Structure 1
Amino acid sequence: MFKQITFKFKNDVTRIEFWVVTGCIIAALILSIFDIIRNNQIAANNMIQAGQQAVTPALLSATLMPILFSYLVTFIIYLLLCFYLTPAFEGDGGTALNGSLLIFIFIALSYLVGIISIYFAALLALKILFIYFNRNRQNGESALYYEASLLTASWILITIGLLYVSTPVMLHFYILYDVAAAMVLYLYAVHVLLPNEKLKNKNIIYYFFRMFLLAALSSLAVYLICLSFKGGSGLSRPAAIFVLVIDIGDAENIAWLVFLNFLTQLFIVMPLARTTYKRRNAKKDEEIKTLKTELGQSDANLNFLKSQINPHFLFNALNTLYGTALQENAERTGEGIQKLGDMMRFMLEENVRDRILLSRDIDYLKNYILLQKLRTSASSSIIIETQIEDYQGALMITPMLLIPFVENAFKHGISLQNPSHIKVTLQTDGNTLYFDVHNSIHIRHDNDPEKGQSGIGLDNVKQRLALLYPNRHDLVIRENAKEFFIHLTVQLDII
């Protein structure tokens, strides 16, 4: 379960924090050892003066071992928080978070039995809160682990705070035991019991029966724990360092704790868990409804945009072919017709798909450029450069995503009367596509029927990029009086 622990620092701040905390633990350990040795030496001198036998090395070792064990456990917990819990909470969750519950249980038990000092317990609780607030908030499936971390840290800090406040003794133990039991039952009810199939039909009787039994079991557990600490098992420890330093008291106090625990589970935890679960489900249903609505609108927009694309490019291709036919009536015309046939076949068969192989879209792009070259080949003042990678991999792309940029370049960048240039570059690196188009700009004559018409090409592709590649693309468009430049980077999917 803890196989994914990797001892790597994600940044310099984490590295500095690790060494500062490690130094504090080592310094505290050394000071504790010196303090124990000094106290034992004073006790030995007093016993010698009183004519009694001095403290033996065995007794000194027995005193040091619990302290060494305490700091060792503290350091192990800190390592788990740094190198296991932090990456799990900041990542995508999954099985990596399964071990976090065991970590919280281990921390709570170590704190309860007094293995961890209250100073380091407070620091560990603050570390858990820091991890919680820096979690991956997009990972909704890990809500159980996130809530467990928040509740565990809050419980530790509250119980420590009560040690420094003048409050009734029973309140201390109510928070220490009953609230801890309530936290466990709340998490179980919200994340395990209520999502159960039997409760999907809102079977309140089944829920109440299960919660009643669990409340009884948790009360029994609290009773057994209180019995184990009856008489104040922590009295032998320094009152300023460890938690369990107050005598739980007689059987009457224990009975009150058990009774209050049972009432807390039934009248606070049970309704609170059900209300929380219903509220979250209502929020999820609303989010699903909103997503479905947005998805429907996106599909409608995409279908509409695709219906605009096909005739747009068909007319451009036909105009190109018509211009070629006027120039000569031979091989160039036949080649133009062949390229146009390939383009029409692409639009009829593959343009209707959501995604196609990048190699097929590149083929269409090349056919379009070759068709345009036929129209402009007679003019030596027109320079068309292409550096298009001959890609044959498994990347997928939305069809007709790149052609609007090239079409726009030929539409506004070519003039049969003035020097013109177009450069198209396409390459891939992993799953990233890099696409550049650089062209000259010519002012259209007043009698040009397309003057003042920007067309739908660029607006179309911007909408499609926003809908289909959100947060996965970067489009840069620059323009001056003579040149137009676009740079597109897209993170594509692999088949």
Structure 2
Amino acid sequence: MKLKDLQKGEFWIATILFFIVIVTLIFNTSNHNDNGNHFAFIRSKISYSYFYNYFLPNFLKTSSIYFSFLVLNFIAIPAILKQHRTVLYYLLIVLLVAAVGIIMGICKTYINTYEFENYKTLQQAYNRMFFDGFGYALWLVIAISVYCSFKTYLVYLIETRLNGSKERSLIKTDLMVGIAFWLAGLILWVTTNSSDQICMLWSLVLGAAIGIFIYSVYYLLPQKYQHIKFINFFVQILSISLLLVIPMSFIALLSFGANAETIFIVLLFHLPAQLFVTAPLAWFLYKNRLQQNKEITSLKTELGKSDANLNFLKSQINPHFLFNALNTLYGTALQENAERTGEGIQKLGDMMRFMLHENTQDKIALIREVDYLNNYIALQKLRTSQSADIKIETVIEDQFNHEQITPMLLIPFIENAFKHGISLRQPSYIKIVLQTKDNTLFFDVSNSTYAKNDNDPEKLKSGIGLENVKQRLKLLYPEQHELIVRETVNEFFVHLTLQL
């Protein structure tokens, strides 16, 4: 995962949140909904304006936070971390704190005007409100700086320690899921007019959860999973969570106010979330991924063995030797005037040549597929030519353009017909029709059927390769074929229409 990619995501998330908050402010102002802030003005007998005392100051506060994030996260902090013109950018941060502090102070004087009566003098009220404004600005800079530094360090770890593209993809996915979950929750709190403290607490707890999860799944468990039990892992997550309480409490104190309840609230939500959600989730997910990786490795190993065995078998069969042997037998058959035997050997040789060379291609010329079908049918005719009760009729077109087809796609239907439609004891027939028109292939095979004996091993079997060819048609010719299979008491019929 590259830093630039992450920054693009951060920019769009921050911009979307900014516009959501602004739209919510506009909606609340038009509906006179300010979370009851106007009641304090009424009690203090001070005039109240939804625009000047609610919308405008909150708009300025939100804009200040948004633009501060852009300046710090994309300009100042990255430059300081790279030690590029650090003095200039430190000065920029000081000016940013001053500007945001002034804006926050002014906004608070308009939002909390009713608090002026709690101070002896007007100057004391202004001093206090502007002091809180500068304190908030300082907290904002610290929080964004810590976030930016942590993010940069995390990206550095990913780039330097995760060399595999798969691991980078996984960690990127996990981060995106975590950020999406945080963003969904934040949108929920904002749209339901929840307090800033709840939004801050949600961000702190979920940010810590994402960090602990990434650390556990990609660093801690890969190093110790084989030698660590879940209870020991649980204790380590507890230790990490307790250490994180310190910076989280510091940020919460600046946000919620300096009191003991703040630390208790952080502990109340932070520890259970990390111990009972993050830790088990990290353990389970890592264990599940490890098991999947083992299964994939095992499958690759078995596949490699199968390939090696197949290559070994191929190396033991020399096609040239087979063809030479068939040619020798063919010549011998001609010398002995065994024309039918010679013809069968020649057809068989052509079929073997097709199987060894053209059957390995994704697509072949339709004429080559038809040649193979004709050779197969010719061999079957030689086998059945002595029986007058077997009729084999073929109407196969022999003129084709440049159509192509997946090899061995049609032969299973013909094989099925000869295997299940021929009986040496009963009258049988097979009819095969193959034609093309406008790049569309029309293929029909019909054959006689007859009852098989109970002890016939083929009785309960369906046609050779029919299920396989159905699957191939679905994969290779989706929405480009129509297959009709019909069986009656006396006939089995197949019709295939195929867009070439």
Give the shorter-chain TM-score range. 0.3 to 0.5
Q: Which has the larger radius of gyration?
A: 2
Structure in which a larger fraction of residues adopt helix: 2
Q: TM-score, normalised by structure 2?
A: 0.43
